[in-house]
Amino acid sequence: MKYKSIMVLIFGAALVSCNSTKKENTEPEAPIIGKSNVKVENSIMTPEILYSFGRVSDLQVSPDKSKILYGVTYISIDQNKTNRELFTMNVDGSEKKQITQTPKSENNAIWVKGGAKIAFLSGESGSSQIWEMNADGTERMQISNIEGDINGFSYSPDGNKIMYIKNIKFGERTSDRYSDLPKASGRIIDDLMYKHWSEWVEEIPHTFIADFDGTKISEGIDILGDEPYECPMLPFGGVEQLAWSPDSKTVAYTCRKKKGLEYALSTNSDIYLYNIETKQTSNLTEGMMGYDTNPVFSPDGKYIAWQSMERDGYESDKNRMFVMNLATNEKMYVTENFDYNTDYLAWNEDNQSIYFVSCVEAKTHLFQVYIHTKEIKQITKGDYDYESFGIAGDKLLALRHSMSKPNEIYSVNIVSGEATELSFENKEILDQLTMGKVEERWIPTTDGKKMLTWVVYPPNFDPNKKYPTLLYCQGGPQSTVSQFWSYRWNLQMMAANGYIIVAPNRRGLPGFGQEWLEQISKDYGGQNMKDYLSAIDTMSKEPFVNTDKLGCTGASYGGFSVYWLAGNHNKRFKAFLAHAGIFNLEAQYLETEEMWFANWDLGGSFWDRSNTIAQRSYANSPHKFVDKWDTPIMITHGERDYRILASQGMMAFNAAKLRGIPARMLIYPNENHWIAQPQNGILFQREFFRWFDTYLK
């Protein structure tokens, strides 16, 4: 689920000034994880090959627009670890160079000092610090020495200050109250939001501003002071929620200034301006009631843009783009005539337009909006997803992926939209693989609409054969089935194992207008389930689909979908597999942490008998249909999942076994809503196919 604390005492972070710079010990402390030399057998993808791809991320264009800095994450299945290295290349793709090779990951890498240096984070967990090095990777030098981890940073435009993110202690510990019980593990909890996604909330991020003399930073000033609020916001916020003004005098930051029960019930965050000299803070978005996030100043400092959701408590509301004239405080809703989300905003150097990405009809592309006329131009087209980008004159340098190819860097002509690949990180592996055909189908729904459904065919597909077929149910619930590339729910790898994959953009997904997106709210088990069945029923009419060998799988809301369909599929399917799904909606309402999500999507609490909308939601809980379960089901879940507790999966497994239905459970004591550790990921893939192969082949 895409469900996007409060204790007693708040303590400021303990900070230690840098008294001296420190050069890093370059002696390897562990085997260095780097690029794999993979030999592919029979041109077919396997879980091990999937984990051999280099994961390209976070491209940064140099100040003179001549070079690209980016990172690649490599995985060692044997070591059960990942490692991220840094690369540079010219904007035309030439002179590609790996500039780090260490056992410690380098993250948050940016160009500084006019492009002469690169700053980055490096260090073990608990001691990640800011480092600088030459643009060629030589002369690494530590410039911060802050107690604990630095989680992100950015330099002021004038280079005299550094803004960094660091967790501070949040709430009272048992040992604070009872000093004679230092080893007691119990947590004393007095309010809501005591857990979030995968962690007990005992720390929260704060943002600090530190002076920088060019070689070391001084002790930072916490811009929130003693306020017990997150900045940036948990669970996913980072430096994109902070911004320097071009004159280095102001910081814009994102914050939801709420705590406890109020925090658990509201998504109302705001954009604040913090004056570096006066230490005064002003609220730019007061009265705007939903999420306001990710501020970006125009190059001339006259405007600020940000993303804004309208309604409090609705985390999947339309992500609108707003711009404010900082001289007049006039707000402009610049994407008012655009019925889609806007993400990853970047100002054009003319100060009159903004580039962004948006998912439209299950493909995520680059767009440009002119702030005064509200004219929107689509730059790129095709069956791809663009993820992020940097501006280099008449080009955009962008990360792009598809269902058949992981992230690579492309140069995009702004006028024509023509894209040229530059990085070729995974060419050697991709050249050895045969990918299945990906087909776009528009399938009629039960209420007379058309639904885009992706169909992925096995490599070397033969239309004269009959194939087992899997219905893929998307999570979120409001997350698009676009041209996504996944390292767990990889549709090409499912197809490579001999399955046809049917992946519908059912009701409740973005990219098809707000009406299509919002229909699912308060209608769990309703029209979107009919959409799933429309997709699989339409494909079942094809002669190459073996209707006696249909399976169904999904995670999160997709897991809920699997559980619901298990009791309502009328014997269509022969096997199910659910990961991290909701089985019992009444239990979920009280087990989850972000209550605004449950209240919005379900309509309210289950004990409010007068609330007919909420009662309809709970009447459609999958556990209410267990008496109709008749099909083998496998369940996977992580015990550190605090969004949808592992007890949901255990209940479903127990129900199946008690009813005499073949069932298997794969439980992870040390994973959360996702599966992050490499060997656990491989285990998931192997068991996934062992299960479906048993019943569908």
Q: Which residues are catalytic?
A: 556, 641, 673
Say how far apart CA 149 and CA 15 lie, in whole Å.
Answer: 11
- Distance, in Å, from the CA atom of 337 to the CA atom of 267, rounded to the nearest integer, reads 24
Residue (of 478, 484, 558, 481) closest to 521 by Cα position? 478
Q: Distance (Å, rounded) from C-alpha 138 to C-alpha 65?
A: 21
Contact 527/449 with Cβ under 8 angstroms?
Answer: no
* Residue 392 near residue 61, CB atoms below 8 Å: yes
480 CB-near residues (< 8 Å, 6+ apart): 359, 362, 364, 474, 505, 509, 510, 511
Q: Which helix (H) or strand (E) is 651 found in, with range?
A: helix 646-658
Tell me how far CA of residue 40 lies from CA of 50, 301, 429, in angstroms. 11, 52, 8
Q: What's the token pair of residue 267?
A: 């998504």
Q: 6, exposed or middle or buried, with CB in 10 Å at 0-12, 13-18, 19+?
A: buried
Q: What angle do CA 378, 58, 82 make, to 5 degrees?
A: 135
Backbone angles phi, psi at 551, to 5 degrees: -125, 170
Contacts of 307 (CB under 8 A, 6+ apart): 291, 292, 293, 294, 319, 320, 321, 322, 342, 343, 345
DSSP secondary structure letters along 336-375: TT--S--EEEEE-TTSSEEEEEEEETTEEEEEEEETTT--
Tell me the sheet residues that pair with 81. Answer: 76
Instruction: Cite the beta strand spans of 466-528 per DSSP E.
Output: 467-473, 500-504
Cβ 33 vs Cβ 79: under 8 Å: yes
Strands 575-579 and 633-638: parallel
Q: How far apart are CA 343 and CA 205, in angstroms?
A: 23
- Contact indicator for 640, 670 with CB cutoff of 8 Å: yes
Whole-number Å distance between alpha carbons of 486 and 504: 16
Handedness of CA 533, 534, 535, 539 (dihedral sign): positive
Q: Which of 193, 197, 195, 293 is nearest to 240 (CA)?
A: 293
| CB distance 533 to 572 below 8 Å | yes
Q: What is the DSSP string of 403-462?
A: TTEEEEEEEEETTT--EEE---TTHHHHTT--PPPEEEEEEE-TTS-EEEEEEEPPTT--
User: 520: exposed, middle or buried (C-beta count within 10 Å: 0-12, 13-18, 19+)?
Assistant: buried
Tell me if residue 585 falls in helix, strand or coil. Answer: helix
The sign one gets for the Cα dihedral 674, 677, 682, 687 is negative
* Residues 388 and 68 sit within 8 Å (Cβ to Cβ): no
Q: Are 356 and 345 in contact (CB under 8 A)?
A: yes
In contact, 400 and 407? CB cutoff 8 Å: yes
